[in-house]
Structure 1
Amino acid sequence: MTRSSSLAGALGHEAADKRLDILRRIGQAGSISEAARGAGVSYKAAWQAIDTLTNLAGAPLVERTVGGSGGGGAQLTTTGQQLLDAADTLATLRQQALAQVTQRSTSTDGAAPRLAGLGLRTSMRNQLPCQVLALRRAGRAVHVRLGLSDGSTLVSRITRESAELLGLAVGVEVLALAKATAVAITADPNQAAGQPNQLHGTVARLARSTAGDEVVLTVAGGLQIVGFAAPGLPLRVGQAAVAQFDDAAVVLAVGA
């Protein structure tokens, strides 16, 4: 993998990404702890941000320094500074492109398309636009209650560090992602009673299999969700059904 392609992987998010903000603050303050305080995250979350960006970039972005009156600190490597320079360039180009798209859309039908998530490539087939309704801490985890456009709600359980790095707050728009294999489809609402996430809808498509049918469910608001039914469950197109999945199966992404 070339250096340029590695940097592209680390820049697969908008310029306001909290992780890039932390990296920038490290370069300015020369301290990871100061960068964490300035970004409003914990020291542990700051290190998580550095580790993630380093993995994506394929090269060290921060190096520790020792000695001096302050007892040492941190500074950006050449690659770290290159990453920030590239982020600034992409931010300018991105804003110009979004402005053009919005202007063209509103001049034709009065509605700009939802662009969040269009640049996201993932194996998770369920990608649902949501808005954060509430956050509740439970030990090292955070339970995030999400609202869909039709008024339905979901719950995602993530770590506190992840919530900090995503900048989650009430009103923030996110994508709720879930693997199709984590979603169970049932025709009996009572069987879904124990799951924190339940979406009621109608069977739109079926792919039959002796191991269990793959089911596409149309839920309120026209959203589609994909899951699997237990072997032998006699579902049919047009039938009412329920998609159920655990809160730990819901991954959150903040789009552009």
Structure 2
Amino acid sequence: MNIFDALGLESVDKRIDILQRIDSLGSISQAARSAGISYKAAWQAIETLSNLAGEPLVEKAVGGSSGGGAVLTPAGRLVLEASASLNKVRSQILMDIENGQHSKLASLAASTLKMSVRNVIPCLIEEIHGGLSQSKVVLKVAEHAYLKASITTESQQLLGLKIGMTVLALFKATGAKILDSLPENYDKEVLKGQVARLPQRDKGGEVTLRLANGINVVGFVHSPHTLTIGSDAYLEVDQTSVIIGLM
């Protein structure tokens, strides 16, 4: 197993990649074209990074044979330098892990982002249906178990999503509905599991389902219901509530 591929740290963050290309080419449109994404997606990457940094990272450059372009601000250059330093540290940690220094796994885990999202599920991208502004992504959770995510076309490009990629599906417990049965001809995607944790009998509240592959998912059930510990149940989450993250 290649741990670099497994952890997804071999690939460059597309937003940082756009910033690097702007620095090199002096043009947002050229940066987008060379990266194989739309101009709109490139601008989205710049805006996202600028929002995170709290100040503009790119500014217009006046002059030149083409009438001007774009250059990085001092903050933009600082972001690139910080990104390069972080990549060196991450690469060293991964090398240490490959060389048997597994104790550093704790450090790697501690560096991950803490979130309020309860459901974080490893998935395989099964299908991608692209549109003008939105893409529908079918995610395989387990055999005969699927989720769907609706994301912008720009997000699909920036994440570099492809069929066969392993990604994370994230969604809040409050956005997931637990059903004790399915109506006839129910046409929405659901995850089937067994009830592992349950509020008081007949009370509404938070429910944990254990899927066939051992993954636990959390959602809410309304009262009255017929759920008991160990009984079959179904989790439904709207595709607009599912976020896709890279591993």
TM-score class normalised by the smaller sequence = 0.7 to 0.9
Contact 1:208 1:214 in 2 (8 A): no
Q: Would you say how many aligned residue pairs link Structure 1 and Structure 2?
A: 236
Aligned match of 1:239: 231
Q: Would the alpha carbon gap of residues 128 and 118 (structure 1) be closer, same or farther in structure 2, given more than 3 Å must change?
A: farther
- Matched residues, percent identical? 43
1:178 to 171, 181, 187: 171
With structure 1 as the length reference, what TM-score do the two structures score?
A: 0.84
Give the secondary-structure state (helix, strand or coil) at the position aligned to 2:226. Answer: coil
2:116 to 112, 117, 123: 123
Aligned match of 2:213: 221
Question: What is the CA–CA distance in structure 2 between the aligned matches of 1:182 and 1:149, rounded to whole Å?
Answer: 21
Give the secondary-structure state (helix, strand or coil) at the position aligned to 1:236. Answer: coil
CA offsets, 1:132-170, max 9 Å, x none? 122112341101111224452221111100000101011
Q: Would the alpha carbon gap of residues 190 and 99 (structure 1) be closer, same or farther in structure 2, given more than 3 Å must change?
A: farther
Letter in 1 for 2:178: I
Which piece of structure 1 moves more, 32-41 or 226-235? 226-235
Contact 2:61 2:69 in 1 (8 A): yes
**How far did 1:16 drift?**
0.9
After TM superposition, the structure 1 = structure 2 runs for residues 72-221 of structure 1, keeping only pairs within 5 Å, are 72-104=68-100, 119-150=112-143, 152-190=145-183, 193-195=186-188, 197-208=189-200, 212-221=204-213
**How far did 1:207 drift?**
2.8
User: Which contiguous aligned blocks of 4+ residues in structure 1 show a shift greater than 3 angstroms?
Assistant: 115-118, 208-211
CA offsets, 1:34-72, max 9 Å, x none? 000111110000000000000111121101112332111
Give the secondary-structure state (helix, strand or coil) at the position aligned to 2:136. Answer: strand
Q: Would the alpha carbon gap of residues 135 and 117 (structure 1) be closer, same or farther in structure 2, given more than 3 Å must change?
A: farther
Question: What is the CA–CA distance in structure 2 between the aligned matches of 1:226 and 1:211, rounded to whole Å?
Answer: 16
Structure 2 gap ranges (5+): 1-7
Contact 2:201 2:228 in 1 (8 A): no
Give the secondary-structure state (helix, strand or coil) at the position aligned to 2:236. Answer: strand
